[in-house]
Every structure is written in structure tokens, then in C-alpha cells.
Amino acid sequence: MSEIATAGAGHGRRNQARRVLSWATNPWAKARFLWVVALGYVAWTLLPVGIAVAFSFNAGKSQTAWQGFSLTRWYLSDVSSVWQDETLRSALLQSVKLSAMTVLIAVPFGVAFGLALDRWRTRTATGANLLMMFSFVTPEIAIGVALFLYFTQLFTAVGLGFKAQLFGLSMFEMAYPMIIVQARLLSIGRQYEEAAQDLGASRTQVLRRVLLPLLSPAIVASVAIVFATSIDNFVLSQRLSIGASTQTVPILIYASARTAPLPSLNALATITLLLSTTLILVAVLVFRRASRAERKAVADTRGIGLPI
């Protein structure tokens, strides 16, 4: 009797093990561990950032030991704060100015190139598209060295400095809006443009009244991405810099890493993080609002029986 009970218990454990193994390895089941991996990745990437931000509110001068909380010391009141220190303030203004002007150049040209490559139906279009993608496959240090040689040996009228940084970053960042706009054009199709042309709109009117409004989420997203990637760019900005007058926040952080930096440097980095994050959140809200409006328009069109 005991042998039968033991055999039954062993058989039950084997069945339970098979069920657990099947539950864990079923490829068609709902993902059970993906959220654990996602949370682990978020914690791994954001925890160092959170620590750096927290120490920007440290009441003391230590970067490793917490000495109390101060809301304004390293931002406004201390002589070494971002507001009071001329070097930190200059680097912040330089980064914001360079990023904003890069947006003003890279986004319009990137949107125009995206439209052109989407409408360009020749054999050379593929080559032109690959050429625009060149910045994604080329190491940034190689682009930085090439631009350094270009502005110092060939295009000496510009030379190194703010203009070189602006032209180099604009060229490098132009691929982002181009790709985003092409993806947006692929998702919306050409039926809206064709409908506007059937109603008598010219090509300019189609572009201004139909295509650009439809592309507005992609344009806003391009602005956010270009600004966020420009404000923390180090390689190109550093290679094309000529000194303190063209020193950006990443260059200043790199230069201060060999010394004993104060928490005011964390405060400076926190401000740039806040600027880029705010712009990205605005882009997300605009995209969601535009997506809801499009879905509502499609639903209304279907409701009245019109082709879409």
C-alpha cells in the first residue's frame, strides 16, 4: 500500500513538473517574464541618472556622501551654482543655443529630404536614401575627425567654432527627421493628397493644407529628437570646439571629470535633462492627440459611408 502511495506521489510530482515546464516554455502563451526584463532594464539605465539628479540637491559639496537636502544651493544661491558660476551658465546657454539652431536647420531640411526621397521614383533614389543614412552607420568619431579636417584644411572660411559645430551637428542630425517623415508618409498613404487634387487643389495647396498638417506629429517628434540628441552631443561638439567660448555642457562635464566636481555640475546636467525630457513629453502628447483625431476622423468617415 505504501509503495502504491509512493508511486502515485512520484507520478503526481512528475505531472506537476511537466505542467510547470509547459507553462514556462509555451511560445504561444502571454509573455510572463517580459515585464521583469523591462523593469530591470529601466532600473539599470535610470538608477545612475536618478542618483546624479539626487546629488544635485545635496546640501554639501560631496558627490559621494549625502549631506542633507537643499533645493536651490547648486542651482541659484551658492557662488558655484549654475546661476552664479559664469562657466556653468555659459556652457548651458551655449548648449541650448546650439541645439535650438540645429533644430531650425536640420528639421526643415530633413523634412524636405524625406518628402523628396519618398516622391523620387528613379534608380538613383535608393542610393540617395543610403547616402542620407550614412551618418547612422559611420562611427561618430570618424565623422568628427572628417569635419575637423574639412573645416581646418578645406573650408577654412568657417574654421572651427560655433559655426562649425552648427553645420556639423545639422548635417549629422538631418537623418532623424528624414526617417521619421518617411515613416509617417508610409503610414498615411497618398489617398488624402489624391483626394485634394481631385477637388482642384494645386500641388502647393496640397502640401500646405493637407500634407504638412498630416506630417505635424512627425515634425514635432523630429524637433524633440534632434534637440535631445544635440544638447548632449559630445564627439562632434568637442572636435569642432575652439575653447571656453564654444564649450557645451557635455564638454564641460568631460573636462571636469578628472578633477573633483561639485554637485553644481550635476545640477547643470539635470537642467539639460529636464529640457530634453520636457520637449519629448510634449512631442508624445502632440502625437497622441493627432492619432486620436485621425482615428476619430476615420471612424466618422466610415460612419457616413465615404471611402477612406
Domain annotation covers residue 244: yes
Residue 52 main-chain phi, psi, to 5 deg: -65, -40
The candidate with the shortest Cα–Cα distance to 55, out of 252, 264, 260, is: 264
Domain annotation covers residue 115: yes
Tell me: the pLDDT tens digits for 231-265?
Answer: 988 988 989 888 888 899 999 988 887 787 888 99
Tell me: the pLDDT tens digits for 145-179?
Answer: 888 998 888 888 888 889 999 999 998 888 889 88
Q: CB within 8 A of 253, min separation 6: which ones?
A: 261, 265, 268, 269
Domain annotation covers residue 14: yes
Together in a domain, 211 and 267:
yes
pLDDT score for 308: 47
Together in a domain, 46 and 92:
no
Q: CB within 8 A of 96, min separation 6: which ones?
A: 231, 275
Q: Write b or e for each residue in 178-210: b if 16 or more Cβ atoms lie within 10 A of its Cβ, otherwise e.
A: bbbbbebbeeeeeeebeebeeeebeeeebeeeb
Domain annotation covers residue 241: yes
Together in a domain, 78 and 47:
no
pTM over 0.95: no
Look at residue 118 and give its three-state secondary structure: helix
The candidate with the shortest Cα–Cα distance to 227, out of 159, 277, 191, 300, is: 277
Together in a domain, 84 and 48:
no
If residue 97 lies in a helix (H) or strand (E), which one and from where to where?
helix 86-119
The candidate with the shortest Cα–Cα distance to 184, out of 173, 194, 192, 196, is: 192
Domain annotation covers residue 11: yes
Together in a domain, 295 and 201:
yes
Together in a domain, 109 and 33:
no
Together in a domain, 141 and 265:
yes
Together in a domain, 107 and 31:
no
Domain annotation covers residue 60: no
Together in a domain, 156 and 78:
yes
The candidate with the shortest Cα–Cα distance to 239, out of 172, 154, 149, 157, is: 149
Domain annotation covers residue 61: no
Q: CB within 8 A of 250, min separation 6: which ones?
A: 95, 232, 233, 234, 237, 238
Together in a domain, 21 and 154:
no
Burial classification of residue 216, based on how many CB atoms lie within 10 Å of its CB (0-12 exposed, 13-18 middle, 19 or more buried)? middle
Give the domain CATH number at 209.
Answer: 1.10.3720.10
If residue 241 lies in a helix (H) or strand (E), which one and from where to where?
none
C-alpha cell of 110? 530633413
Together in a domain, 124 and 268:
yes
* Proportion of the chain above pLDDT 70, given as a percent: 84
Domain annotation covers residue 91: yes
Together in a domain, 50 and 80:
no
Query: For residues 94 and 214, what is the distance between their CA atoms, to the nearest angstrom?
Result: 33
Amino acid identity, residue 3? E
Tell me: the pLDDT tens digits for 187-237?
Answer: 877 777 778 877 787 877 888 888 888 888 889 889 999 999 999 889 889
Query: For residues 231 and 218, what is the distance between their CA atoms, to the nearest angstrom?
Result: 20
Q: Provide the domain count of the chain.
A: 2
Look at residue 233 and give its three-state secondary structure: coil
What range defines the domain where residue 134 resides? 74-303
Most confident of 8-17, 64-73, 86-95, 127-136: 86-95
What is the per-residue DSSP string for 45-94? Answer: HHHHHHHHHHHTTBSSS-SSS---B-SSIIIIISTTSTTT-HHHHHHHHH
